[in-house]
């Protein structure tokens, strides 16, 4: 029949609930007999917006938990300390509460397992600690808080963007957090997945910005996300919390989100899945603002990581160039002190007695011990000085 009019395949837009608000996704009509015969149409998600089965983030949680158990096994509190908390757990029991209120191992064990120690990174060329510290935790409370957050944030992102992009983003953001922390904290060790977690949180914000048009409730989602970020960063102002790792991870994740989590515009998607015979003017895959953000973020990431690594291995202390920056990690108040200087003691062994004198406070205490190990002395010193 001459002069017939053909109908162009249509890409349907459906609304899905996501991240506390609604986002819209294109779906492609499935070719079925039911749909073609006038019955109800069935749709399938196109590959650019497919849902992934989240398995990597749960695997990360398992790795963190197993690593903590191994750390507690290595710690062996009954062998290396005079007293332990929850002694019925045997070698898995915790260091005394006065030494580690998070219910976990000693700082000596964490250092042995790969905690971030700037002196060892710079002087002994142990750069691998920038990565290994991400898988260690200071105690049960620390582990539970991080893993619950990882499950809530990470599974959503992995379901939306897949294990490759989220896995790479997690590792690089964690490295960024460790690097930023190492440039400011020189006298203490640091552990935890917080830097990588804040990287995921930062990527959620940049993903919202770079894919702004796919959200139905843009402002509500933005306000909710910003409030969550501010609250989490504010918690980092408490003592004994490495907020530098949080900030470094967040900034890294924020920039990485522009690079890894960019989505094509719907006009291109519709044209891509429609018949070529009915295509008109070709539409670009990404909008101009998306490409600008992608390029700028990639450049900033390369410059930031390169300059940060150079400064770290040259022994640069950014506190010397920023007199107020230490307030970003701990804000002193009348209720707590931000003094986190490492403790040290003078020891004297006489027969079966060990006498320790805290160099920080001049406190002295005598213990009935003969030939105590170095780790045991360090643990007693920490309890005495705190």
pLDDT, tens digit (0-9, with 9 covering 90-100), for 241-277: 889 999 999 999 999 999 999 988 766 766 666 655 4
What is the edge-to-edge ordering of all strands in the sheet holding 353-358?
A: 345-350, 353-358, 364-368
Per-residue pLDDT reduced to its tens digit, 183-224 = 999 888 999 999 999 999 999 999 999 988 777 777 888 888
pLDDT value at residue 184 = 93
**From 206, 246, 270, 326, active-site residue:** 246
Tell me how far the alpha carbon of residue 104 is from its chain's centroid.
20
Percent of the chain predicted with pLDDT > 90: 46
More confident residue, 49 or 4: 49
What's the pLDDT band for 5 if we cut at 50, 70, 90? very low
Residue 73 has pLDDT above 60, yes or no: yes
Residue 383 has pLDDT above 60, yes or no: yes
Per-residue pLDDT reduced to its tens digit, 35-55 = 444 444 444 455 556 788 999
125 is annotated as an active-site residue = no
More confident residue, 283 or 172: 172
Residue 28 has pLDDT above 60, yes or no: no
Alpha-carbon gap, residue 266 to 77, rounded angstroms: 58
Percent of the chain predicted with pLDDT > 70: 81
What's the pLDDT band for 6 if we cut at 50, 70, 90? very low
What is the edge-to-edge ordering of all strands in the sheet holding 12-18?
A: 12-18, 21-29, 43-45
Cα Rg, the chain, nearest whole Å: 27
- Start-to-end Cα distance in the chain: 92
194 is annotated as an active-site residue = yes
**From 194, 203, 206, 252, active-site residue:** 194
């Amino acid at each position: 029949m001459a002069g017939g009019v053909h109908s162009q395949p249509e890409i349907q837009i459906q609304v899905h609930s996501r991240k506390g608000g609604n986002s819209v996704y294109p779906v492609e009509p499935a070719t079925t007999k039911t749909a073609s015969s006038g019955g109800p149409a069935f749709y399938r998600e196109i590959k650019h917006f497919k849902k992934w089965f989240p398995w990597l983030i749960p695997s990360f949680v398992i790795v963190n938990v197993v690593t903590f158990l191994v750390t507690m096994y290595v710690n062996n509190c009954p062998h290396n300390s005079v007293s332990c908390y929850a002694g019925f757990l045997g070698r898995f029991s915790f260091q005394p509460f006065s030494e580690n209120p998070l219910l976990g191992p000693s700082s000596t064990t964490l250092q042995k397992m790969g905690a971030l120690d700037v002196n060892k990174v710079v002087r002994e060329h142990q750069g691998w600690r920038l990565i290994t510290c991400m898988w260690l935790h200071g105690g049960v409370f620390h582990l539970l808080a991080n893993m619950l957050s990882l499950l809530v944030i990470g599974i959503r992102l992995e379901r939306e963007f897949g294990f490759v992009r989220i896995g790479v983003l997690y590792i690089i953001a964690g490295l960024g957090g460790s690097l930023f922390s190492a440039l400011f904290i020189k006298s203490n060790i640091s552990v935890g997945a917080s830097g990588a977690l804040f990287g995921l949180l930062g990527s959620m914000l940049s993903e919202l910005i770079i894919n702004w048009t796919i959200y139905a409730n843009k402002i509500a989602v933005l306000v909710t996300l910003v409030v969550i970020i501010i609250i989490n960063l504010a918690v980092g102002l408490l003592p004994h919390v490495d907020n530098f790792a949080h900030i470094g991870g967040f900034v890294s994740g924020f920039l990485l989100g522009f690079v890894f989590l960019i989505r094509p515009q719907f006009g291109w998607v519709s044209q891509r899945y429609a018949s070529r015979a009915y295509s008109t003017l070709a539409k670009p895959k990404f909008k101009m603002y998306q490409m600008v953000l992608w390029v700028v973020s990639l450049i900033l990431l390369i410059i930031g990581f390169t300059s940060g690594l150079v400064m770290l291995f040259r022994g640069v202390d950014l506190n010397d160039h920023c007199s107020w920056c230490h307030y970003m990690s701990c804000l002193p108040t009348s209720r707590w002190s931000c003094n986190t200087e490492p403790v040290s003691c003078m020891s004297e062994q006489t027969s079966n007695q060990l006498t320790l004198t805290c160099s920080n406070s001049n406190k002295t205490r005598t213990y009935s011990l003969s030939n105590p190990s170095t780790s045991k002395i360090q643990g007693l010193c920490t309890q005495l000085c705190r």
